[in-house]
Amino acid sequence: MDHPYTRIKGGVCASKEFLTSAVSCGIKNPESDRLDLSLIYSKRDCLSVGMFTQNKVKAAPVRVSQNHLRANPIRAIISNSGNANACTGPNGLKDARNMASETAKLLKIKQREVAVCSTGVIGLPLPMARVASKYELLIAGLGPKNGNDVAKAIITSDTHEKEFAISFDLDGTRIRIGGCAKGAGMINPNMATMLCFITTDANLSSSCLNRAVKDAVENTFNRITIDGDTSTNDSVIVMANGAAENKRITRGTKSCRIFAHALEFVMSKLAKAIVRDGERVTKFVTLEVKGARTAMDAKKVAQAVANSSLVKSSWNGEDPNWGRIIHAVGYAGASIREELIDIYYESKSACEGGIQGPTNPEVLRSIVSKADFKITIDLNLGSAKHTIYASDLSPEYVEFNRSEYAYWKQAKKDGLV
Amino acid sequence: MDHPYTRIKGGVCASKEFLTSAVSCGIKNPESDRLDLSLIYSKRDCLSVGMFTQNKVKAAPVRVSQNHLRANPIRAIISNSGNANACTGPNGLKDARNMASETAKLLKIKQREVAVCSTGVIGLPLPMARVASKYELLIAGLGPKNGNDVAKAIITSDTHEKEFAISFDLDGTRIRIGGCAKGAGMINPNMATMLCFITTDANLSSSCLNRAVKDAVENTFNRITIDGDTSTNDSVIVMANGAAENKRITRGTKSCRIFAHALEFVMSKLAKAIVRDGERVTKFVTLEVKGARTAMDAKKVAQAVANSSLVKSSWNGEDPNWGRIIHAVGYAGASIREELIDIYYESKSACEGGIQGPTNPEVLRSIVSKADFKITIDLNLGSAKHTIYASDLSPEYVEFNRSEYAYWKQAKKDGLV
């Protein structure tokens, strides 16, 4: 058995005593009735951890949520899609705070117990009149639902919702971890244009939870790339409400390690789902760099290769072009020796000691023609390694991202610009 | 008057006592008769300076030319297109040395007086039988031609040859500087998949020439980007043969500065021509970052913005999407304060203090709709600046770069793999 987890239904609402709700405000398009405002709420007090974009340009909701999570645990997350509320200045901050304060008022909790997340177009004000008119409906809709409402309400250019939940035994008690995520574009290590919300009913110490979330994000969301663009809004928020009533898990114990592993398992499923559903993506490539002198060298090489437009174009073209891979290795800024580099497609050697390996290119081509394959780069200099999950770059990605100008027109119609 | 130069004909052969020749070997395709092997030769001894790729994976000809140029001046450059002779191991080095030694033998000069350059597909052996059979024809063809033969023979996916030459007075003597270049893909600061050969008949000291070449490359070829991929073969080689018989120019003099300025002018013309003729490029964008705290910060921001797939896609879509620009500024790793950032399209303010500026998006859109426009990012933190010349990213670029697999097939047919 690969893992001791049972996959369960319910997504972000799978954990006990969490409620969700979602409504449609027409944020991006007033004529649309797609869900775009959602809420996750814990009936009990929570522990919570948030990790946010490393972009120095941060959206207003990121600033607000960082403040709230720094001060104390939160127990509700309100989020919208269709507008990132980024680069919107003091008015944007006011809007994000309004989302938190109005939600808190209706839930009868403190404003600082509410996190706010937004995703969508950058630089345009949120149409707050449309958002504010739905707060009551949103709160009234809260229930122990299947979580799918939130998963649907947070997506933007994703083609489908992403959710995953498991249960497992810990010290004789059944624990649940569930979550949902959105991705699609602006996806790069050190997070992505992504939102991810995770709930668990595990009862654990804040230091066990903090460490587990940090490690899990490092090994999952910080290892995916679609287009190399780190967004302004990336947020991962984890809430733990203890409703499973297991014996409290403390840091450094075996139980804490088991919990951490399970959390990483859930995040890994969601992170990989983001890559597979990247904008106009046709390939899922596991790129492993090993034999590096240092962990930083391994990471630099993996990122350079995974973000090279030429490498990614060749994946799209199903071309086993190891020449482009080694050229990206060369400019990664890592310690390398060209004549020691080996490159494998699955287990087949494409490049050996810096020159062409023994495998017939037709065999390599059949590997790259699959939707999902692994490339290993062995620098043969040391023992450090790093793995990244990457996508190809398609003509359709560029076509898709040529223009967001229609949003400006809508904003003008709304009198917002 | 912008500059005191007269544009003249002759490209890389415009300078006195330089000869050129080019022949067709069918390196990429035996059936093709396009020029793919060329030679530049100075009838006199030369000074010479070479600058090469900073990629740690270096093609065999780069290694050979670096050695030759380190030891002493060269006076001939043999170059081929259609195959980069990169990642070809000891046999590739043997092939590159053979190109130098056979050329030297026929020209009756020393092997180490010949530089070798290659450009084309990476990882496949050069079809040396086809190359070697043309050495005599190549040397026999040497003449004081118009230089256009070399300009034509070095291009790969370029749609046209790139050459430029000027003459100007220095201390009462007419001096000539001429050159040719090739680019198209794998173009990034710290050079590009580019070759550039420059000749001058100026009589000058080696320290004046060295400094002039280094500065000119830094301000021209190191400031262009098409796809962010630094190649394995980039080479800029400058030869000065003194045939103008001007009074010897020494370093630190006004004459040396005038020469340096003229050299940079020629390189700038060639570098910009490379961007304009990038693979499936539709836009030429001058990206100026100013107000940075340090020169390195200005450079980091310019490179992050110029290489963002999302920014480049929006240029292709003629979308004045300053939101994507500021998001790339945020992840550049430079000191910034979001609320101080201004972004201009030409002289029009798109973003002021980190939020939307006063200009009507329709006005900005009309600027981005031109083939050639300027974007200025003012960080308002200091006085350092950096300019990059960049292109858009088109669906056609990705389409074009999906596969080089046909070259493998040809190599197999040739019995090389």
Yes or no: say if A306 and A214 are a contact pair by the CB < 8 Å rule.
no
| Residues of B in Cβ contact (< 8 Å) with A394 | 398
Q: Average the pLDDT over A99-120 and give the result.
A: 96
For A325, the closest chain B residue by CA position comes to B122
Query: Å from A24 to nearest chain B CA?
Result: 25
Q: Has residue A142 got a pLDDT over 50?
A: yes
Residue A15 is classified by DSSP as S
For A409, the closest chain B residue by CA position comes to B361
Query: Å from B410 to nearest chain A CA?
Result: 12
In which band, very low, low, confident or very high, does the pLDDT at A2 lie, cut at 50, 70 and 90?
low
Q: Which two tokens mark A307?
A: 């973000």
Cα(A58)–Cα(A39) distance, integer angstroms: 22
| Residues of B in Cβ contact (< 8 Å) with A87 | 323, 326, 338, 351, 354-356
Q: Has residue A222 got a pLDDT over 70?
A: yes
Chain A interface, mutation test: which of B95, B119, B186, B310, most A Cβ atoms within 10 Å?
B310
Name the pairing type of β-strands A372-378 and A355-356. unpaired
* A393–B398 C-beta distance less than 8 A: yes
In which band, very low, low, confident or very high, does the pLDDT at B16 lie, cut at 50, 70 and 90?
very high
Which member of A122, A321, A398 has the closest CB to residue B398? A398
Identify the burial level of A92 via C-beta atoms within 10 angstroms of its C-beta, where 0-12 means exposed, 13-18 middle and 19 or more buried.
buried
Output the pLDDT for position B396.
85
Output the pLDDT for position B256.
96
Output the pLDDT for position A1.
40
Q: Has residue B228 got a pLDDT over 70?
A: no
Q: Where are the alpha helices (DSSP H) in B251-377?
A: 254-276, 295-306, 309-316, 322-330, 361-368
* A230–B56 C-beta distance less than 8 A: no
Percent pLDDT > 70 in chain A is: 96
* A309–B393 C-beta distance less than 8 A: yes
Cα(B180)–Cα(B309) distance, integer angstroms: 29
Yes or no: say if A302 and A311 are a contact pair by the CB < 8 Å rule.
no
Q: Has residue A362 got a pLDDT over 80?
A: yes
3-state secondary structure B139-201: HHCCECCCCHHHHHHCCCCCCCCEEEEEEEEECCEEEEEEEEEECCCCECCCCECCEEEEEEC
Burial readout B246-276 (b: 16 or more C-beta within 10 A, e: otherwise): beebebeeebbebbbbbbbbbbbbbbbbbbb
Output the pLDDT for position B157.
80
Query: Å from A323 to nearest chain B CA?
Result: 5
| Residues of B in Cβ contact (< 8 Å) with A228 | 308-309
Yes or no: say if A289 and A377 are a contact pair by the CB < 8 Å rule.
yes
Question: Nearest-CA neighbor of A270 among A214, A192, A386?
Answer: A192
Q: Has residue B191 got a pLDDT over 50?
A: no
Q: Has residue A36 got a pLDDT over 90?
A: yes
Output the pLDDT for position B2.
54
Distances (CA, A) of B179 to A239, B196, B228, B237: 64, 7, 24, 10
Cα(B113)–Cα(B107) distance, integer angstroms: 10
DSSP string, A79-108: EEEEE---S-HHHHHHHHHHHHHHHHHHHT
Q: Average the pLDDT over B231-244 and give the result.
A: 90
Average pLDDT, chain B: 91
* B228–A314 C-beta distance less than 8 A: no
How far from chain centre, in Å, is Cα B331?
Answer: 28
DSSP string, B59-103: -HHHHHHHHHHHHS---EEEEEEEE---S-HHHHHHHHHHHHHHH
Of A155-159, A290-294, A387-391, B223-227, the range with the lowest mean pLDDT is B223-227
Output the pLDDT for position B190.
46
* A395–B57 C-beta distance less than 8 A: no
- CB neighbours of A73 closer than 8 A, spacing ≥ 6? A45, A46, A47, A48, A113, A239
Portion 48-107 of A in contact with B at CB < 8 A = 54-58, 84, 86-89, 92
Q: Average the pLDDT over A134-153 and give the result.
A: 94
Could you list the beta-strand ranges (E) of A95-234: 114-121, 162-170, 173-182, 195-200, 224-225
Output the pLDDT for position A190.
46
Contacts within 8 Å (CB) and 24+ apart, A338-341: A338/B56, A338/B57, A338/B58, A338/B87, A339/B89, A340/A379, A340/A380, A340/A381, A341/A377, A341/A378, A341/A379, A341/A380, A341/B57
Residue B44 CB neighbour total at 10 angstroms:
13
Cα(A257)–Cα(A251) distance, integer angstroms: 8
Q: Has residue A329 got a pLDDT over 60?
A: yes
Q: Has residue A3 got a pLDDT over 80?
A: no
Q: Has residue B188 got a pLDDT over 70?
A: no
* B57–A327 C-beta distance less than 8 A: yes
Which member of B88, B185, B329 has the closest CB to residue A310? B185
Cα(B307)–Cα(A307) distance, integer angstroms: 10
φ/ψ of B246, rounded to 5, equals -75, 165
Q: Has residue A188 got a pLDDT over 60?
A: no
Please count the residue pairs, one from chain A and one from chain B, whose beta carbons lie less than 8 angstroms apart: 230
pLDDT digits (tens, 9 = 90+) for B70-116: 978 999 999 999 999 998 999 999 999 999 999 999 999 999 999 99
DSSP string, B111-146: GGGEEEEEEEESSS---HHHHHTTHHHHHHT-BS--
Q: Average the pLDDT over A85-102 and give the result.
A: 95
Output the pLDDT for position A227.
66
Distances (CA, A) of B168 to B4, B174, B263: 7, 6, 11
**Sheet arrangement for strand A18-23:** A18-23, A37-42, A76-83, A114-121
Residues, chain A = 417
Residue B20 is inside which H or E element, if any? Answer: strand B18-23
Residues, chain B = 417
The residue among A275 and A99 whose pLDDT is bigger is A99
Q: Which two tokens mark A11?
A: 């997504």
Portion 2-31 of B in contact with A at CB < 8 A = none
Name the pairing type of β-strands B76-83 and B37-42. antiparallel
pLDDT digits (tens, 9 = 90+) for B363-384: 999 999 999 999 999 999 999 9
- The predicted complex's ipTM stands at 0.82
In which band, very low, low, confident or very high, does the pLDDT at A186 lie, cut at 50, 70 and 90?
low
Cα(A189)–Cα(A219) distance, integer angstroms: 10
Q: Average the pLDDT over B55-80 and give the result.
A: 93
Query: Å from A316 to nearest chain B CA?
Result: 6
The residue among B227 and A392 whose pLDDT is bigger is A392
Yes or no: say if B38 and B21 are a contact pair by the CB < 8 Å rule.
yes
> Could you say which of B20, B88, B193, B199 is catalytic?
B193
Q: Which two tokens mark B293?
A: 């705290």
Of A20-24, A141-145, A234-238, A329-333, which has the strongest mean pLDDT? A20-24
Residue A347 CB neighbour total at 10 angstroms:
9
For B324, the closest chain A residue by CA position comes to A122
Q: Average the pLDDT over A238-254 and give the result.
A: 96
Q: Which two tokens mark B352?
A: 């002021």
Q: Average the pLDDT over A396-405 and give the result.
A: 80
Of A128-132, A148-152, A164-168, A409-413, the range with the lowest mean pLDDT is A409-413
Yes or no: say if B73 and B62 are a contact pair by the CB < 8 Å rule.
no
* B402–A87 C-beta distance less than 8 A: no
Task: List domains and CATH numbers for chain B.
Answer: 6-276 (3.60.70.12), 284-393 (3.10.20.340)
Number of DSSP helices (H) and strands (E) in chain B, helices first:
13, 17
Portion 342-381 of B in contact with A at CB < 8 A = 351, 353-356, 361, 365
Cα(B387)–Cα(B301) distance, integer angstroms: 10
Q: Average the pLDDT over B313-342 and give the result.
A: 92
| Residues of B in Cβ contact (< 8 Å) with A320 | 405
* A323–B123 C-beta distance less than 8 A: yes
Active site residue A193: yes
Question: Nearest-CA neighbor of A267 among A220, A208, A214?
Answer: A220
Yes or no: say if B375 and B286 are a contact pair by the CB < 8 Å rule.
yes
Chain B interface, mutation test: which of A405, A414, A416, most B Cβ atoms within 10 Å?
A405
> Could you say which of A193, A199, A200, A359 is catalytic?
A193
